[in-house]
Amino acid sequence: MKNMYDLLIIGAGPGGYVAAKKAAKLGMSVAIIDKGPVGGTCINRGCIPTKAMLHAATRYRDIKECELFGLHVEGAGYDLQKIIEYKEASTAEMRADLEREFEALGIVFVQGTARVQAGKRVRVEKEDGTSEFYFGRQILIATGAKANRADIPGADLPGVMTSEELLSSDESKYKSLLILGGGVIGLEIATVFRDLGAEVTIIEISNRLLPTMDGEFSDALEKILTDRGVHIYKESILEQISEADEGLKCRFVCQGETRELQVEGVLMSVGRRPNTEGLFDANVPIKLERGRIVVDEFFRTNVPGIYAVGDVVGGIQLAHVASAEGTYVVEKMNDLKPSVIVSMVPSCLFTPISIVPSCLYTDPEIASVGLTEEQAREKGVPVRCGRYAMEGNGQTIISKEAVGFIKILFAKDSDVLLGAQMMCPRATDMIGELATALANGLTSRQLMYAMRAHPTFNEAISCAVENSREA
């Protein structure tokens, strides 16, 4: 049959393209469909462009503060258009590399809007209005999620945007920006624009930034951002956005007091929703809950032969989780033992805990894995907590980086690692060591066996582990 494949994947983001490469390497014929370019939101409108902008903005702040190192730069400035070109070049390079891999592995990429029909048939509508049909012995849906907009008056005005719209725009110069939402995306973009000199205001509905993270880290990051000039309003609600003579007028309530603020742009950073609109024909009985695809523990939908992974099924919405789930599904299809896991049950617990690293690319970076001290307390798990303040770390002293700290949790009785949180340079790279240790049930004694080079940021892990053994 024409256009018949062993695996038909809808969505070319991290969940889809990682699954496609794995399947092709295992000998499956694979086609992957996406209405946009390869890479999905992550490469084109999310992770990669955000981190490119962060890198450029942080380097600019480094230049402005270089007198700390005895250096002097006159007339420091930036060209926003060249920063945008650098961002676009970074995404283009990743896309090109992925396209080369697809070609080498024989993966067919189809650009168009997919709609799943009965009999594992998928109708793909092309940009020119023509349609083509594809068939899969197995179908994997990895269509991800799209950014929400808050349902408030004025949310559709020009200058009000989601992160995807902001990051795909070539008009990103704002002298003042209001960010609705103090989560990961909002804080990373706040860092970019503040480092580039904009007045940045964050409005967060809860009583702290990063509500799901260890409170000690939230408080520390809030202080750093405030010291850098970011205005933060917690326990606040944005009520209305209206047009003003220059920009937008925003009315919000902060702890019972009504306030107004005029800005050039408003970023809606209030979560994401599964991307399933128009994905299925009416006669395809896929079970949905509030827009997300319902799957079992093997990522099977209620329709035999159709699987779903990543943000479209809910759960932890991170690119590396989608990739791990896509790999897992393909390995199960080929009767292989899964090579990746996202949770485990430590020997001292009766419930699973996540071993998914969570990263925030602010300055300093924040990364965590496993349980926080608050979560352990809620579960009634006795822990020993090791701490180390980075102010004594040699690399921190040399680099004059913002001072952070590391916390590592071990079960009080069994000494098994249960979680780690860190706020320091290179935290997003360093967390991998502790995720590996957590996945393998290592103890503090076993973590101390390995030497860590000096001077490095990473040697602070040894100090935190040693501190836990003194507790």
Phi, psi of 40 (to 5 degrees): 60, -160
Helix runs in 311-426, H state only: 319-333, 373-379, 394-399
Among 45, 345, 249, 69, which residue's Cα sits nearest to residue 166?
45
Residue 15 and residue 323 in contact, taking contact as beta carbons nearer than 8 Å: yes
Residues 6+ apart with CB under 8 A from 380: none
72 included as an active-site residue:
no
Residues written for the chain: 471
Alpha-carbon gap, residue 402 to 93, rounded angstroms = 31
Find, among 352, 145, 333, the residue nearest to 341 by Cα: 352
CA angle centred on 169, ends 179 and 276, rounded to 5°:
80
Instruction: Measure the CA–CA gap between 387 and 5, rounded to whole angstroms.
Output: 53
Q: What stretches of 147-264 show up as alpha helix (H) in DSSP?
A: 163-167, 184-195, 215-227
Residue with tokens 């101390």: 448
- 447's enclosing H/E stretch is helix 444-449
**Of 55, 231, 320, 454, which is the active-site residue?**
454
Q: How far apart are CA 34 and CA 39, in angstroms?
A: 9
Six token digits for residue 131: 């349609």
Bond prior to 364 in cis (omega within 30° of 0):
yes
Strand pairing class (108-111; 30-34): parallel
Sequence-ordered list of residues with C-beta below 8 angstroms from that of 465, at least 6 positions apart, any chain: 386, 408, 444, 447, 448
Q: Is the dihedral of CA 190, 192, 193, 196 positive or negative?
A: positive
Rounded-to-integer distance, Cα 115 and Cα 125, Å: 8
Q: Which candidate, 49, 130, 129, places its Cα nearest to that of 93?
A: 49
Question: Cβ neighbours of residue 299 under 8 Å, at least 6 residues apart?
Answer: 307, 308, 309, 313, 325, 328, 329
- State how far the Cα of 422 lies from the Cα of 214, in Å rounded to an integer: 10
Contact predicate 140/326, CB 8 Å: yes
Residues known to be catalytic:
454
